[in-house]
Chain A
Amino acid sequence: MSTAIEIAAAVSAGEQTASSVLESYLSRIDDREAEIHAFNAVTAEEARATAAAIDASVAAGETVGPLAGVPVALKDNMCTTGIATTCSSRMLEDWKPPYDATVVERLREAGAIMVGKTNLDEFAMGSSTENSAFGVTHNPLDVTRVPGGSSGGSAAAVAAGFAPLSLGSDTGGSIRQPAALCGVVGMKPSYGAVSRYGLIAFASSLDQIGPFSATVADSALLYSVIAGHDARDSTSIPLPVPDVQATLDDGVEGLRVGIISELMGEGPLEGFEPEVLARVRDAANALAAAGATVAEVSVPSTIYGLSAYYQIAPAEASSNLARYDGVRYGHREPGGVNTAAMMKASRTAGFGPEVKRRIMLGTYALSAGYYDAFYGKAQRVRTLIINDLAKAYADFDVLLSPTSPCVAFPIGAKSDPLTMYLNDTCTIPSNLAGHPAISVPFGTGADDLPVGVQVLAPMLGEAKMYTVARAIELAASGGQS
Chain B
Amino acid sequence: MSVRTDSVNEGAEPESSRLSREDVAHVASLALLELTDAELDEFTGQLDAVLEHAKDIDALDVGDVEPTYHPYPVTNVFRDDVVEQLDVHDAALAMAPEAEDGQFRVPPALGEEP
Contact partners of B28 in chain A: CB under 8 A = 356, 360
Query: Does A98 reach chain B (CB closer than 8 Å)?
Result: yes
In the complex the two chains form, is B30's CB within 8 Å of A367's CB? yes
Contact partners of A432 in chain B: CB under 8 A = 68, 71
Query: Does A261 reach chain B (CB closer than 8 Å)?
Result: no
Please tell me which one of the listed residues A96, A205, A418 contacts residue B69 in the complex, with CB atoms under 8 A apart: A205
The smallest beta-carbon distance between A418 and chain B, in angstroms, is 5
Query: Does A43 reach chain B (CB closer than 8 Å)?
Result: no
In the complex the two chains form, is A342's CB within 8 Å of B107's CB? yes
Contact partners of A328 in chain B: CB under 8 A = 92, 95-96, 104
Contact partners of B114 in chain A: CB under 8 A = 337
Contact A270 to B60, CB < 8 A, known contacts A376-B67, A418-B53: no
Complex interface residues of chain B between 40 and 78 (CB less than 8 A to chain A):
43, 46-47, 49-51, 53-58, 60, 62, 65-72, 74, 77
Query: Does B12 reach chain A (CB closer than 8 Å)?
Result: no
Contact A344 to B34, CB < 8 A, known contacts A98-B88, A374-B54: yes
In the complex the two chains form, is A345's CB within 8 Å of B34's CB? yes
In the complex the two chains form, is B111's CB within 8 Å of A337's CB? yes
Contact partners of B27 in chain A: CB under 8 A = 360, 363-364, 367
Contact A269 to B1, CB < 8 A, known contacts A338-B107, A383-B67, A417-B46: yes
Interface size on B, residues (CB 8 A): 60
The smallest beta-carbon distance between B4 and chain A, in angstroms, is 5
In the complex the two chains form, is B24's CB within 8 Å of A380's CB? no
Cα(A113)–Cα(B44), bound, Å: 46
Query: Does B8 reach chain A (CB closer than 8 Å)?
Result: no
Contact partners of B110 in chain A: CB under 8 A = 338
Cα(A344)–Cα(B30), bound, Å: 10
Residue of B23, B32, B46, B70 with highest tally of chain A CB at under 10 A = B32
In the complex the two chains form, is B54's CB within 8 Å of A307's CB? yes
Contact partners of A235 in chain B: CB under 8 A = 70, 72, 74
Contact A351 to B33, CB < 8 A, known contacts A268-B4, A328-B92: yes
Cα(A364)–Cα(B46), bound, Å: 14
The smallest beta-carbon distance between B46 and chain A, in angstroms, is 5
Contact A380 to B62, CB < 8 A, known contacts A205-B71, A269-B3: yes
The smallest beta-carbon distance between B111 and chain A, in angstroms, is 4
In the complex the two chains form, is A360's CB within 8 Å of B1's CB? no
Cα(A425)–Cα(B95), bound, Å: 39
Contact partners of B57 in chain A: CB under 8 A = 304, 307-308, 377-378, 381
Please tell me which one of the listed residues A344, A374, A434 contacts residue B72 in the complex, with CB atoms under 8 A apart: A434
In the complex the two chains form, is B67's CB within 8 Å of A416's CB? no
The smallest beta-carbon distance between A233 and chain B, in angstroms, is 9
| Residues of chain B whose beta carbon lies under 8 Å from any beta carbon of chain A | 1-4, 6, 19, 23-24, 27-28, 30-35, 39, 43, 46-47, 49-51, 53-58, 60, 62, 65-72, 74, 77, 79, 88, 91-92, 94-98, 104, 106-114
Can you spell out 12 A-B residue pairs with CB atoms less than 8 angstroms apart?
A: A235-B70, A268-B6, A326-B97, A327-B104, A329-B96, A338-B107, A338-B108, A360-B31, A363-B31, A382-B68, A417-B46, A459-B72
Identify 8 new A-B residue pairs, CB closer than 8 A, beyond the known A269-B3, A307-B56, A381-B60.
A306-B53, A307-B54, A337-B112, A338-B111, A341-B111, A360-B43, A379-B67, A380-B65
Q: 5 smallest A-B Cβ distances: which pairs?
A: A434-B71, A271-B1, A379-B67, A332-B97, A338-B111
